[in-house]
Amino acid sequence: MNLILMGAPGAGKGTQSEKISEKWGIPAIATGDILRAAIKAETELGKTAKSYIEAGKLVPDEVVIGLIKEKLASDSCKNGFILDGFPRSIPQAEALDAMGIQMDVVLSLEVADEKIVERMSGRRVCHCGASYHVAYLPPKTEGICDKCGAELYIRDDDAEATVRKRLDTFHAQTEPLKDYYGAKGILVTVQGREEVEDTSAAVLEALAAVKPFVAEKL
């Protein structure tokens, strides 16, 4: 099965891609992971990507697409794969089509913006590595780490203003992909649930309904 998993930042794509990967034994591919792997392996594309990152610039589409193409051509993907968060735009989707790779399903994980803001802006972390959430996993003493007693802090990426900006970018650049893949007849939408396991059950059920052969693997 060749699957694209899309959704807003904080929707839980990474968690669900891991669940699907474990269930079916196909790799979950995230652009950040393959970028880091290519840089570590010092491949030509990895060196190019590193030069942009070190210059504080975004890695251009052609480099990201080249890395995706290399990964999808590897033996690990011969029985299928999960693309986690790629493509992020119509041009990236068109580049993926140009590779001649047939996608079976595009699953859109739907979570309301305000719920995502609550999830992400409520995170608190400690330099010792411990993590908390003000609503779902609060420390015993507000603002203080249970493990080491240090003051907790909010990562820059979890600041509410940053989260809302990322959501705006998603709606402008990535959400149009729902129409793009909907027109191809391969789009499936799943509403995210409060509990991870409930979302996982809904995801697997939705995929099984679209692709009968998937049901045999459940």
Confirm whether 155 is a catalytic residue.
yes
Q: What is the CA radius of gyration of the chain?
A: 19
Residue 137: count other Cβ atoms within 10 Å of its Cβ.
12
Confirm whether 88 is a catalytic residue.
yes
Let me know: does 13 contact 111? Beta carbons within 8 Å.
no
143: CB partners within 8 A, 6+ apart: 124, 151, 152
Instruction: Please identify which of the residues 166, 178, 193, 211 carries the catalytic annotation.
Output: 166
Confirm whether 124 is a catalytic residue.
no
Residue 149: count other Cβ atoms within 10 Å of its Cβ.
10
Instruction: Please identify which of the residues 19, 71, 119, 123 carries the catalytic annotation.
Output: 123
Instruction: Please identify which of the residues 23, 36, 50, 88 carries the catalytic annotation.
Output: 88
Residue with tokens 């299928």, as numbered in its chain: 80
Confirm whether 123 is a catalytic residue.
yes
Instruction: Please identify which of the residues 40, 47, 155, 165 carries the catalytic annotation.
Output: 155
Confirm whether 13 is a catalytic residue.
yes
Instruction: Please identify which of the residues 13, 19, 71, 119 carries the catalytic annotation.
Output: 13
Catalytic positions: 13, 88, 123, 155, 166
